[in-house]
Structure 1
Amino acid sequence: MSSVAKKLTGILRMKFPTSQSATITAMKPSAKSPLTKWGIVLVLTSIHLILLWVYREEYAGALSILPVGVASWFFGSIIGIITALVILFLYFSILYISNVPTVLFVDTDFVLGGFVLVLIGGAIGWLSNYYHNQTERDLELKKQLDEADALSEISIALSQAERVGLSNILQLIVDSAKKLIPAAEQAVIHILDDQKEYLIAQAASGFQQAAQGRLQMRLGEGIAGQAIISGDTINITDINTDERFIKSVSISSFRSLLVTPIISGDQKLGTISIQSQLPNAFTSHEQDLLYALGVQAAIAIENANLLETTQQSLRETNALYRINQGLVALNTDELLDDVVSLLQKNFGYYHVQVYIIDPKSGDLILQAASGEAGRKMLEQKTRLSAGQGIAGYAAETLVPFFTNNVDEVMFFVHHPLLPETKSEMAMPVKIGEHLFGILDIQQAPPKTFTARDLQLVSAIADQLAIALQKAELYQELQNSLQQEKAMRNQLIQNERLAAIGRLLASVSHELNNPLQAIQNALFLLKEEHGITEQGKQDLNIVLAESERMASMIKRLRDTYRPIRAEDFRQTQLNALIEDVYALVAGHLRHNQITFEFFPDPELQPIPALTDQIRQALLNLVINAVEAMPAGGKLTVYTEFLLETEEALITIIDTGKGIATNIMDNIFEAFNTDKDKGTGLGLTITYDIITKHHGRISAENNSRLGATFRIWLPAKEMEDIT
C-alpha cells in the first residue's frame, strides 16, 4: 500500500507547488475561500476512509496525515488537532463496524500513531501560522523597500530637475504610483494652468488612449476638481454607489478612484489620481502613499517654477541691461531692432513690434518688428490710424491694454502676416503725458500673457521711453546747433554781401561820373560835321555800349540801395519766367538745350521788385546753360504753397551738377568752379531773394544735374527796411 500513498502524494504536490511564490499565493488566508479549503480536506479524508474500508486492517493509515496536515495548514493548530481526533474516531468506527477484532488494530502502534497524528495536526498549524506571518513580514518589507526605492529615485530626479525636466519627473511619479499600488491600473497627474481655471493632464500611465475629457477639466468639475478645492484626499470606493461621482455620457472603465491634491503650503498646484476596475480597491496605507507621491510632485513643480522664475529673472535682467547699454548710443533704430529681437528670442513671444507716433497726423508708424513677418511689415510700411486696433487704443488712452483672447476685443485689427495671434499686449512708451510710441507684443496658443509679462513689458517700455526722450532731445540739440550754425553763416554771408554791396555802390558811383562825361563828349562829337560814314558807325557803337554800361551801373546801384515797401509791385511770376525764356531762347537753341515750363495756373501775383527777380532768374538760367555744354534739358516749375502762403519756383537741369567742394558755400562771393566765372552771380541772386524775405536752396539730383528752389512770400511786404 505504500505505492498508493506515494501516487496520491505526487498528485497533491502537483496541485500544491512547493516554490515560495506559488506557496505564498496558494497558502495565503485570502488566496482560497473557506469552502474550497474544506472541500480539499473532505476529499483527502474521503480517500483515506475509502482505502480504510477497502483494505480494512491491512491499510496502515499513512494517508491520514494529509487531511490533518492540510486542515491544520489552512485553519490552524486547533482545527488540525480536532481533524486528527475525528479521523482517529472514524478509523476506529469503520474497523469496528467491519467486525474487525479490536485486538487487531487497537494496540500500542494505534495509540502511538494517534498521538503522533494529533501532534502533527498541532505542529503543522503552528508552522503554517509562523510561515504566513513571516511571509507577510517579507512581503511588507519588500513593499516598503520598493516604496523607498521609488521615492529615492524620485528624490534623485528632483535633485537633477534642471537636467531631467519637470515632465519626466511627473511621468516617473505616475509610473511609480501604478507600480507601487497593486490595484492601480491607471494613474494621472493634473496641473492647474496659469489662470487657475483648468486642470490639465501633464503625465499619465496605463492609458492606451487618453480621453479628451481626461486631458483638461475646469476647476471644481470632477473628483479631481473637488479634491483640489477641498484640499483633501477623496477615495471613491465604488463609482456606482458614491454620490460624489457624477457619471458622464461615456461609460467609465473603472470602479474605484483615489485622488489626492498636490499642495505646496497654501498654494494648490494640481492633483494625482489612480483608478481601478475593482470596487473598494485602495487601502488607507495606499492613500498615504499616494499623498507622499503628491508631496514629491509638489516639490517637483515648485522646483520647476523656481527654476523658471530664476531663468525668467535672468532673462529680464539681461534684457533691461542690454536696453540700458543701448541708451548710451542714442541710435534709436538700432536700439528698437535690438529690443524686438531680444524680446522674441528670450521670452518666446510670437511677435514683437514698436510703433512711433507721427507728430503731424497722429498715426502709428511701424518702426521695428521681429522675425520674417516683421521684415515684410516694415517693407509694406505698415501704419495704423489714430485709435485703430489695440495699439491705437493704448495710444489714445495712454493706458496699457492686454487680452488673452483677441476675438473678444471689438477693436482688434487682424494682420494677415500674423494669423496665429490669440493674445496681444500694447504698452504706451511715454514719460508723463508725452507719448513716444507703443510697444506691442502678440502671443500664440498655447502660451498666454501673465502678470509677470505685464510687469516686464512695462519696465522695458519705461526704458524705451527714456531712450527715445534722450534721442529726441539729442536730435533737437542737433537741430538747434544746425540752425545756430546756419544763422551764423547767414549773418556772415549778409555781412559779406553788405560789404560787396557797399563796394559795388561806391565803384558804380565812381564809374558813373567819368562815364557821363564820356557820354556827353560822344554826343557832342556826334553833332560834329565832316565825320566819315565809317566814323559815324563806330561812334554809334561806342554810344550804345556806353549806354549799356550806364544801364548796368544803374542796376547795380538799384540792387544795393536801401529798399522801401512802396518799391514792390504785384508781379506775375509765370509771365516773368516767360520773359526770361524769351531773352535766352536763342542761347538755348544754340546750345541744344530743351526748355520745359510747367506753370501753376492757380499762382497769383506776388509783391516783388520785378527787375531784380528777373535778374535772379536770369542768373540761374545762365548758370544752368553753362552746366550743360553738350546740351540737355532745363525744366522750370511754379507752385503756390497754400499752407505757408509762398510761391515756389523750381529750376532743374541735367548738367554736371554742383561740385561737392563748393556745395556748402555755393552762395558766397567769389566761390565758383568755372574757369572764367567771377563767383558773384549766385551771390547777387541770394541777396535779391533774401531782400524779398525769401529763401533759396541748391542740391544735386540723384542722377544728373542740379535743382534750385526759390520760395517767395505771396503776402504784402509790410516790414521792409
Structure 2
Amino acid sequence: MQEVEIKYRDEFCQRCGEISCTLNFDEALQTILDNIDRCLDVQASAIHLVDPGSQTIAPVAVRNLSSDYLSRYQLRLEENPIEQEVLKGKVITIADARENPTYQKLAESEGIRSILCAPLKAKERIIGSLWLFTRTVRSFDPGELSYVTTLASQAGVVLSNAKLYQSLHALSEIGQALTSRLDLSEVLQMIVEKATQLMGGKGASILLIARQGETLEVGATWGLSEKFLKKGPIEIEKSLRECLDHLLVIPDVSKSQDVQYPEHLAQEGIRSILCTPLTVKERPIGTLRVYLAYPREFSAEDLELFQILADFGGIAIENARLFNHIKRDYEDLTQDVWQWYDWGKRAPSI
C-alpha cells in the first residue's frame, strides 16, 4: 500500500485538483474511474448513483466492463443487500464473487473475482457507491480500504458539484424558455413538466387560487391520473395552507395531518410532497407542487433549485397574463375602430 501511495500520490493529487474543477458531469465520472483504477491497480470499476425519486440505484459510468453491465444493473435498493450496507456508510469487500450467490452471474459474464465497494459521500449525504473489480482473487488490506474511502469521498464532492452545475445549466435553459412563451396554458404545462424532471418526481401540479379565495383550482398537471384529479375541491385551509406563504416539504404524507384527501394520495402512490408558492409582485397566486413516490429528504441545493424554478414560473405567468390582457384590449380597440369606420362611411339617417 505504501508503494501505491508513493507512486501515485503526487499524480493523483494533481488529478484531484483537475477533476475538482471539472463541471462536466460525464467527464468527471470517467476521470474519477480512470484515476482510481490506476492508483489501486484494479482491472475494472463502476460508479452507481441513487435515484431518490424511484428508490433505485444504477451504474452511470463504467471502466473495462461490458455494455450489458450498464443495461442490466438497475435495482431497487431493497433488492441489493450490499448496496443497502454501503449506503449506510460501510465499505464492503467480496474476496471471490464466484462464491457469492448475488454476484455469481456477474463473475461469469465480466470475469470478476474480487470486489470492493465504498460509499460516495457529498456533504454528509451518501449519493451512490464506487465499485472496484479485480480479475484475480485479491485481499484488500486496511490501508487500501482507508485509501479507497478517502478517494470515494473526494469523488462524491466532485460529482455533487458537477451535478449541481448541470442542474443550474438546465434551470437557466428552462428560465429562458419559460420567459419567452406568452401562451398561459403552455407556460403552466411547461412548469409542471420541468418541475417533475428537475426534482425526480412522480408528477406535479399548479394549483391557482380561485376568485373567491377559499379553494385552489387546477391550472396544469403532469404525471397524475384522471381519478386523482377528480377527487374533489381543494380547500386552501385543508390543503397545506402554509404552502402559500413559504416552501414546504412533506417527507412522508402518511404521517402528516395537513394534507387533504390522504386516501387518494395513497392510491396514487404519492408518499412525499414538495410545494412552494407561485407569486406575482410578491402576492401569492397559487402553488407549485411536486409529488414523489417515496419518502425523501431534500438537500438545500435541491430546495433552492425548486424555488428558483417557481420564481421563473411566477414571472412567466405574469408575462403571459399581461400579454393576454394587452391582446384583448387591442382586439377590442380594433373592433371599435372598424365600427367607427363603418359608421363614417354611411350617411346618418334622419
TM category (shorter chain) comes to: 0.5 to 0.7
Distance 2:231 2:250 in 1: 26
Q: 2:327 aligns with which of 467, 478, 485?
A: 478
From the superposition, tell whether residues 327 and 145 of structure 1 become closer, same or farther in structure 2 (CA, over 3 Å). Answer: closer
| Code of the aligned partner of 2:142 | L
Q: Residue 340 of structure 1 aligns with which residue?
A: 192
How do 1:443-482 residues align onto structure 2 when only pairs under 5 Å count?
443-445=292-294, 447-482=296-331
Note the C-alpha offset of 1:327.
1.7
Distance 2:4 2:344 in 1: 102
Distance 1:346 1:163 in 2: 28
Note the C-alpha offset of 1:344.
2.6
| Code of the aligned partner of 2:200 | G
| Code of the aligned partner of 2:166 | L
Note the C-alpha offset of 1:163.
7.2
From the superposition, tell whether residues 463 and 268 of structure 1 become closer, same or farther in structure 2 (CA, over 3 Å). Answer: closer
Q: Does 1:438 align with 2:287?
A: yes
How do 1:662-701 residues align onto structure 2 when only pairs under 5 Å count?
none
Distance 1:163 1:367 in 2: 47
Note the C-alpha offset of 1:189.
9.6
Distance 2:175 2:333 in 1: 33
Distance 2:89 2:212 in 1: 50
Give the TM-score taking structure 1 as reference length: 0.31
Distance 2:83 2:38 in 1: 19
Q: Does 1:320 align with 2:140?
A: no
Q: Residue 18 of structure 2 aligns with which residue?
A: none
Q: Does 1:351 align with 2:203?
A: yes
* Contact map agreement 2:196 2:203 (CA 8 A) in 1: yes
From the superposition, tell whether residues 402 and 265 of structure 1 become closer, same or farther in structure 2 (CA, over 3 Å). Answer: closer
From the superposition, tell whether residues 154 and 322 of structure 1 become closer, same or farther in structure 2 (CA, over 3 Å). Answer: closer
Distance 2:323 2:334 in 1: 16
Does the residue aligned with 1:436 lie in a helix, a strand or coil? strand
* Contact map agreement 1:429 1:435 (CA 8 A) in 2: yes
Note the C-alpha offset of 1:343.
3.2
C-alpha deviations, 1:199-240, integer Å up to 9, x for none? 355745479799xxxxxxxxxxxxxxxxxxxxxxxxxxxxxx
C-alpha deviations, 1:88-108, integer Å up to 9, x for none? xxxxxxxxxxxxxxxxxxxxx
Q: Residue 389 of structure 1 aligns with which residue?
A: 239
C-alpha deviations, 1:453-492, integer Å up to 9, x for none? 2101100000001100101111221222233344445656
Q: Residue 134 of structure 1 aligns with which residue?
A: none
Note the C-alpha offset of 1:370.
1.9
Q: 2:218 aligns with which of 353, 363, 366?
A: 366
* Contact map agreement 1:330 1:471 (CA 8 A) in 2: yes
Q: Residue 259 of structure 2 aligns with which residue?
A: 412
| Code of the aligned partner of 1:297 | T
**Number of residue-to-residue matches in the alignment:** 263
* Contact map agreement 1:394 1:400 (CA 8 A) in 2: yes
Distance 1:266 1:410 in 2: 31
Note the C-alpha offset of 1:147.
10
Note the C-alpha offset of 1:381.
8.7
* Contact map agreement 1:262 1:294 (CA 8 A) in 2: no
* Contact map agreement 1:191 1:201 (CA 8 A) in 2: yes
Note the C-alpha offset of 1:333.
1.9
C-alpha deviations, 1:539-584, integer Å up to 9, x for none? xxxxxxxxxxxxxxxxxxxxxxxxxxxxxxxxxxxxxxxxxxxxxx
| Code of the aligned partner of 1:165 | I
From the superposition, tell whether residues 266 and 495 of structure 1 become closer, same or farther in structure 2 (CA, over 3 Å). Answer: closer
Note the C-alpha offset of 1:154.
8.4
From the superposition, tell whether residues 262 and 435 of structure 1 become closer, same or farther in structure 2 (CA, over 3 Å). Answer: closer
Distance 2:122 2:225 in 1: 44
Q: Residue 26 of structure 2 aligns with which residue?
A: none
Note the C-alpha offset of 1:318.
1.4
Structure number with the higher strand fraction is 2
From the superposition, tell whether residues 310 and 464 of structure 1 become closer, same or farther in structure 2 (CA, over 3 Å). Answer: same
| Code of the aligned partner of 2:182 | L
From the superposition, tell whether residues 294 and 464 of structure 1 become closer, same or farther in structure 2 (CA, over 3 Å). Answer: same
C-alpha deviations, 1:69-90, integer Å up to 9, x for none? xxxxxxxxxxxxxxxxxxxxxx
Note the C-alpha offset of 1:323.
3.3
Distance 1:468 1:341 in 2: 15
How do 1:229-244 residues align onto structure 2 when only pairs under 5 Å count?
none
Note the C-alpha offset of 1:263.
11
Q: Does 1:296 align with 2:148?
A: yes
Distance 1:147 1:263 in 2: 21
From the superposition, tell whether residues 302 and 468 of structure 1 become closer, same or farther in structure 2 (CA, over 3 Å). Answer: same
| Code of the aligned partner of 1:293 | L
Q: Residue 248 of structure 2 aligns with which residue?
A: 401
Note the C-alpha offset of 1:329.
2.3
* Contact map agreement 1:427 1:440 (CA 8 A) in 2: yes
How do 1:267-278 residues align onto structure 2 when only pairs under 5 Å count?
none
Distance 1:367 1:341 in 2: 13
Distance 1:447 1:202 in 2: 24
* Contact map agreement 1:368 1:374 (CA 8 A) in 2: no
Note the C-alpha offset of 1:445.
2.4
Distance 1:344 1:454 in 2: 13
* Contact map agreement 2:181 2:320 (CA 8 A) in 1: no
Distance 1:266 1:344 in 2: 24
Distance 2:322 2:35 in 1: 59
Give the TM-score taking structure 2 as reference length: 0.58
Which is bigger in relative contact order (C-alpha 8 A, separation at least 6)?
2
C-alpha deviations, 1:599-654, integer Å up to 9, x for none? xxxxxxxxxxxxxxxxxxxxxxxxxxxxxxxxxxxxxxxxxxxxxxxxxxxxxxxx
Distance 1:444 1:265 in 2: 24
* Contact map agreement 1:351 1:369 (CA 8 A) in 2: yes
Structure whose alpha-carbon radius of gyration is higher = 1
% identical equivalent positions:
15
How do 1:135-146 residues align onto structure 2 when only pairs under 5 Å count?
none
Note the C-alpha offset of 1:291.
4.7
**CA RMSD between the two structures:** 4.8
C-alpha deviations, 1:133-160, integer Å up to 9, x for none? xxxxxxxxxx9889999x9998217899
